Structure 1
């Protein structure tokens, strides 16, 4: 049996980043996952906090050439309802940043991560499928399909929504679904995006364009399942025309690229995010619709906290309650983000006038009150950052009032 300080099940984006971060904190790590030849054509938008974390790990300089800045994020009401909200533009320059974050192809990010994993002395990549997980008082044991066994003092589940690690830890989940499907694709356009991301709020959900390198963008278009089936059945030329019409030709002529994908929308939150010698990161602990660029950013905050908890203990044994401490540290952030994404999505679907009024009024306030918009932007890229800036923003507002 091979022994490690930490075993991570799952080698997607969250699993590989967790392995690199914990290995560089001094822990010996086993990264366990079956071999896959699947190509991921999706893209990921990482906010400033996540970029800074990748930079500390020495990864960002290798990813940056494949990424595009997100310097402005604008929301346009495309609902055609009686109460329509104004267009709101969030500019990173308002909060002293060159960009809120960067958007990059998952394929490029995975390539950089796999190279870093292969070069890290403290990581042992174990190719195989986990059959059974045993969680004891002093250690955890993984048994693979070929009979190989791995022992670790601490176990991290990065194995997705159907997590075997979560099931073995007897952690339940709350799940719910939406009457929506996300159409995910990349497209070229004849006008430059100028590092502007545009989110149209439509009666079926968000239509979100995010810049890629060159004159290209990624798109998440949330529609009904019936509309998704109709759109994916179209020839690419016709689908390109539909995307261009929905965007009001803001980026000129649109050419949709191959590999259009659809994802039924649902959300999931584990009852706990850690327990004893186990922690859950990424979609093993939480999953929700691709709205507001929250998914991997939330997962990276899982990893940041886990590295703080386990990395500071390098050289000593991992406490038996490390997973429970992780759960307490992550609960507020995960639950608040899950609720905010859920509320935004439901507000677009709701035909109730009070809900429409609240949504329109909220965007009106954000459009007209600069300090509040700044707080929202800071909170969007890093929880607590906006609240920390509140005193200085209030002082600045008072000074401007006195000077006037």
Structure 2
């Protein structure tokens, strides 16, 4: 019996979550033939993604945001509240998007909705083939790359984008070293409906167990005021909270929020995942690049995760623009640029969030004092305050093409009679 003819493409994307699907669309827009393989997961409990301005520009440039926009809620402000009980407390701090000339810092949308919309658009795209399956083997060679599907079929590709997450098999095959560590925390996630409006402001309480955050969500019929919640707690406390009846858990959440949003009810199932982090020693290999959680992972603080991933993708697309993917040496030179570009951005986010998270977990007066001093200093000094906000939303440094501000479309003026 003759061997089955393999699938063929320019770019193979491993992973069909938000990261992989976004990468598929970005490379297809560059004119590449793309195959994206993975499980399209649209049932993650309580998970949302806050997309900052650069990420919104990314999706708008690819004409993907219009279908998502009606499901999203703007984040016009961020409120930070010290709830650690420290003897060096700080007053609540509020940061407004208008301070840096934006209508909103970004938009918050349910992860399931975003993935579903990206997958549907991929199925309709003439240059994207979406295979909802698993990859169980990779071959990376000077002459090309291959990946084997769980069915035994092969995919021949000129380049592989590894976006299949923290346990990336492609990363392992490429021989890329990864450093991992854990935190004594579990993140509980759930969607909530509440009595009082959020006014499009994300509220983050800093507690001894970690951040406890409400992020605005789009309302719906019968539930005009909704938010997504992320609550970092100790593992034993997570077990206790998950065992509560929905009404009891909602009551505890209401207590933890100091009744800021009035009566609270759960608006879906509760999710839980242990906190960990990872960072790789490099983000490229032979005919391969890492994006997203294949390259970096950290706790959900400051909504940096997917925003950093989309910068990975936008940078990679720029580096490979006009590159002949048949030429391994040319690809390697292009990937050196990607390596340099991502090193600072990834290192800054992973290390910065690690320091902030540990500062909440460490019960020591010098640490409490340093955290309070830093927050007060940065929020009180106008130029630093605005620089900090801009760095979180649109980081300084070269801006990838997909994330550049586009001038408004000029409408022709009526001819004068």
1:229 alignment partner in structure 2: 239
Using the TM superposition, give the Cα deviation of residue 126 of structure 1 relative to its aligned residue in structure 2, in angstroms.
2.7
Name the stretch that deviates more: 247-256 or 33-42.
33-42
Whether the 8 Å contact between 2:10 and 2:325 is mirrored in structure 1 is: no
1:31 alignment partner in structure 2: 36
Whether the 8 Å contact between 2:41 and 2:112 is mirrored in structure 1 is: no
Would the alpha carbon gap of residues 122 and 68 (structure 1) be closer, same or farther in structure 2, given more than 3 Å must change?
same
Distance 1:36 1:377 in 2: 32
1:310 alignment partner in structure 2: 320
Matched residue SS, 1:311:
coil
| CA deviation vs aligned residue, 1:27-72 (integer Å, no higher than 9, x gap) | 1111122566755541110111101111101011111100001001
Would the alpha carbon gap of residues 244 and 355 (structure 1) be closer, same or farther in structure 2, given more than 3 Å must change?
same
Q: Is 1:244 the equivalent of 2:254?
A: yes
Matched residue SS, 1:291:
coil
| CA deviation vs aligned residue, 1:345-398 (integer Å, no higher than 9, x gap) | 001111222211110001111332222110000000122179xxxxxxxxxxxx
Matched residue SS, 2:86:
coil
Q: Select which of 17, 42, 61 maps to 2:47.
A: 42
Q: Is 1:76 the equivalent of 2:88?
A: no
Whether the 8 Å contact between 1:87 and 1:367 is mirrored in structure 2 is: no
Distance 1:7 1:296 in 2: 20
| CA deviation vs aligned residue, 1:212-240 (integer Å, no higher than 9, x gap) | 01200001011111111111111111111
Distance 1:331 1:108 in 2: 31
Q: Which has the higher helix share?
A: 1
Aligned Cα root-mean-square deviation (Å) = 1.8
Would the alpha carbon gap of residues 198 and 39 (structure 1) be closer, same or farther in structure 2, given more than 3 Å must change?
closer
1:44-193 pair list within 5 angstroms: 44-193=49-198
| Alignment TM-score, normalising by the size of structure 2 | 0.89
2:383 alignment partner in structure 1: 371
Matched residue SS, 1:177:
strand
Using the TM superposition, give the Cα deviation of residue 266 of structure 1 relative to its aligned residue in structure 2, in angstroms.
0.4
Distance 1:239 1:106 in 2: 22
Matched residue SS, 1:269:
strand
Matched residue SS, 1:66:
coil
Q: Is 1:320 the equivalent of 2:331?
A: yes
Using the TM superposition, give the Cα deviation of residue 306 of structure 1 relative to its aligned residue in structure 2, in angstroms.
1.0
Q: Select which of 341, 353, 364 maps to 2:365.
A: 353
Name the stretch that deviates more: 26-35 or 261-270.
26-35
- Aligned residue pairs total 387
Using the TM superposition, give the Cα deviation of residue 150 of structure 1 relative to its aligned residue in structure 2, in angstroms.
1.0
1:198-237 pair list within 5 angstroms: 198-214=203-219, 215-237=225-247
Distance 2:319 2:126 in 1: 21
Name the stretch that deviates more: 216-225 or 252-261.
252-261
| CA deviation vs aligned residue, 1:304-354 (integer Å, no higher than 9, x gap) | 001111234379857330434322221110011000110000011112222
| Alignment TM-score, normalising by the size of structure 1 | 0.92
Distance 2:322 2:207 in 1: 46
Whether the 8 Å contact between 2:44 and 2:111 is mirrored in structure 1 is: no
Structure 1, unmatched stretches of 5+, are 387-404
